[in-house]
Structure 1
Amino acid sequence: QDSSLGMVFIRKLTPNTDQIFFSRSTDEGQTWSEPVHCSQCCPQFPYLVVNNDRLRQFSNGRLAIPVNLYAHGGHTPENLEGASTGIIYSDDNGCTWQLSEHIIIEEENIIPPPVISPDNPEAWDWCLKHQFKQQEPGVEQLLDGSIYLYCRTVLGYMYHARSFDNGNTWTALKPCFDLPSPCGPQSIRRIPGQKRLLCVYNDHHGQAFAGENWNWRTPLTLAASDDDGHSWQTLGEVEDNRHNYCYTSMLFLDDKLLLTEYESENKEDGSRRNLANLKMQLITDFQAK
């Protein structure tokens, strides 16, 4: 709110530990302040995951970093058991940081997809046993001042929750049935000065859960909400289904949207080959009619 720039980055210490830092620039990125160790507020979680383009500032000045929290370290199935989601926040322009309530997807809020591939019926059972069902969260402030939290999952949909106290506590994570997706991250932003929210995600409408190529992060699709995230309508594809697209960022430039994305090639063995670490494009057709 003071026109300075903020930057969040992760320092990887070992495969099972990392730290989150915040730095500011008051000269348009020419120089940066001494980094502040944000995650020292939660030493009980040695491994944290933060996506690109996730730092937000709420209307009351609070800075928020959405995080996934892992009590047992990094990326092995055993270490990722019991992962939870919340925000690390600062009310003094990034000088000190605190951890919010952190939540998981409760069993009663897990809804099976309408169609599960008959060729892979055991996939849903595997997902139910998956202890880090939600990952890579993001937040966006809504028109009524509440905070919208969203995250990718292995359960066939984006899941979302809300906070009515600036991110201190959260409602239950529940599926967003309008946005069926693989386990790939979404990006959500409000068009400046408007009520419309935009979401960039991998649209899986009409696909059977766990069907052929279900896990591929494709196509890349733009959706809009004109009721603060209660419902979403697909606007169209940004990229078709030839490749994987993920880890997007969104920047509004007057009446245009600058979108960046990571692109990889699908391979028959299920792996991916990197094609572009940073692909950029301008999108113009996203306004409410």
Structure 2
Amino acid sequence: MAEDLCKNSGVFGSKIILHKEFVMEKLPTAFCHASTIIKLKSGGLLCCWFGGTHEGEPDVAIYAAKKACGDGLEKNQGVWRKPIKLADGAEANWNPVLFYGKDNTLMLFYKHGQKIAQWQTFIMTSADDGETWSEPQELVAGDSSGGRGPVRNKPIRLTSGRIVAGASTEHGIWQAFADLSDDDGLNWHKSNNIGIKHLSYQAGEKTAHSNIAVSQQSFYGRGVIQPSLWQSADGSVHMLLRSSEGFVHRSNSMDEGKTWCSAYPLSLPNNNSGLDLVRTNNGRLFLVCNPVASNWGQRSPLSLFLSVDDGQSWQKLLDLETEAAEFSYPAIIADGEEIYLTYTWKRQNIACVHFSSNDLD
């Protein structure tokens, strides 16, 4: 399915033309979830996700599909290739993340392990834009504390060249941190932990009863996880965080990600589901999330927000999905003023949406 949709933006009285399509013609597994997307240096797009019989089961693997569009990308030409399996193992695999090194080496990070609190981060690399891949290796050898490197959302590269990855752990009280690399991803060092002050949690307490199709272990714990990052024009770095407390939270760093303030709530509702944002060249921030103020609340609508003041305020542009089903875990990137985003579509497919931010001018 591919279609063009014209939607009122709700901002500046403008309309946005959305091109929407599915990444897969046929889903190779019982479900799919947690996509990541990247614009390839050679042209086209690459999307990865995880899928299997059920989230958290040992057969859950990392899959990928490529759209080789070439020069016709802006006209939405090209076809998504049939998905291929990239990474498998004796335990569940989760949350793939794509990112380029300085030498145009393509990196794929993902989590491996049955228990989220103890999963490990693995990395694979490709020198030919995802046609062939290295064997997976652990990102930080011997780590078993919940996973290093990016936990779900893409890292960012600061103007200094440092890579900052949004990371988090889920040990009762959920906490985030930034994982930093100054040698293009070879070695990593952690920032301080980022949490909500005075938050309490009783060990073994189930915080929600929900029909969301996640691993049951996810319903235990409380706090902030899965940061999405941007750098401001003045060099400061910021993150928005998924939270269990009904609202998106934020933290800021004035020293390139080394230290961060405690997480504090914004007025944006959050249902304890993934969010992602991107900063365009002109400083606009585009955020995709489920604006539902309920812990483990419904994962619809899925909405697009805009900030023109570096994240101080947010305005809803439009709803991408409003049906009573699961539309979740968005990933969003910018290529100049062109915006690409993917998200879980009812756990039956990955939807890919493309639009131009110039429509708002």
Q: TM-score, normalised by structure 1?
A: 0.73
Tell whether the 8 Å contact from 1:16 to 1:46 is kept in structure 2 after alignment: yes
Q: Deviations over 1:149-179 (max 9, x none)?
A: 11111211100011111111001211111x1
Q: Percent identity?
A: 25
Residue 54 of structure 1: aligned partner: 154
Contact kept in structure 1, 2:105 and 2:125, CA below 8 Å: yes
Partners of 2:106 and 2:130 within 8 A in 1 = yes
Q: What amino acid sits opposite 2:175 in the alignment?
A: S
The question of whether the paired residues in 2 share the 8 Å contact of 1:223 and 1:234 is answered with: yes
Choose from 250, 264, 268 the match for 1:174: 264
Partner of 1:140: 230
Question: Shift of residue 85 of structure 1?
Answer: 0.8
- Structure 2 partner of 1:100: 191
Secondary structure at 1:133 match in 2? strand
Q: Distance in 2 between matches of 1:250 and 1:231?
A: 19
How far is 1:9 from its partner? 1.6
Specify the alignment match of 1:258 in structure 2: 340
Name which of 127, 131, 134 aligns with 1:30: 131
User: What's the RMSD between the two structures over aligned residues?
Assistant: 2.8
Q: Distance in 1 between matches of 2:258 and 2:360?
A: 32
Confirm whether residue 226 of structure 1 aligns to residue 308 of structure 2. Answer: yes
| Mean Cα deviation higher: 248-257 or 84-93 | 248-257
Q: Please state how far the C-alpha of 1:181 moved relative to its aligned partner.
A: 2.0
Question: Aligned equivalents of 1:24 and 1:226: distance in 2?
Answer: 35
Closer/same/farther in 2, CA of residues 145 and 24 from structure 1, 3 Å limit: farther
Q: Which residue of 2 aligns with 1:64?
A: 164
Structure 1 residue runs of 5 or longer lacking an equivalent are 71-79, 109-129, 265-273
Segment drifting more, 135-144 vs 26-35:
26-35
Measured at CA, do residues 248 and 220 of structure 1 come closer, stay the same or move farther in structure 2, by a change above 3 Å? same
Measured in 1, the distance between the counterparts of 2:343 and 2:135 equals 29
Secondary structure, counterpart of 2:183 in structure 1: coil
Using the TM superposition, name which of 86-95 and 55-64 deviates more: 55-64
Task: Give the direction of change, closer, same or farther, for the CA distance of 1:89–1:51 in structure 2 (3 Å limit).
Answer: same
Change beyond 3 A, Cα 1:184–1:28: same
Q: Give the letter aligned to residue 183 of structure 1.
A: N
Q: How big is each residue's C-alpha offset from its partner over 1:236-283, in whole Å with a ceiling of 9 and x where there is no partner?
A: 11111432211111233554322211022xxxxxxxxx332x121223
- Hey, what's the Cα distance between the residues in 2 that align with 1:182 and 1:141? 25
Q: Which residue of 2 aligns with 1:91?
A: 182
Partner of 1:151: 241
Using CA pairs under 8 Å that are at least 6 residues apart, name the structure with larger relative contact order, 1 or 2. Answer: 2
Cα pair distance change 1:287/1:85, threshold 3 Å: farther
Question: Structure 2, unaligned stretches of length 5 or more?
Answer: 1-101, 200-219
Q: Which residue of 2 aligns with 1:9?
A: 110
1:198 paired residue among 286, 296, 300 = 286
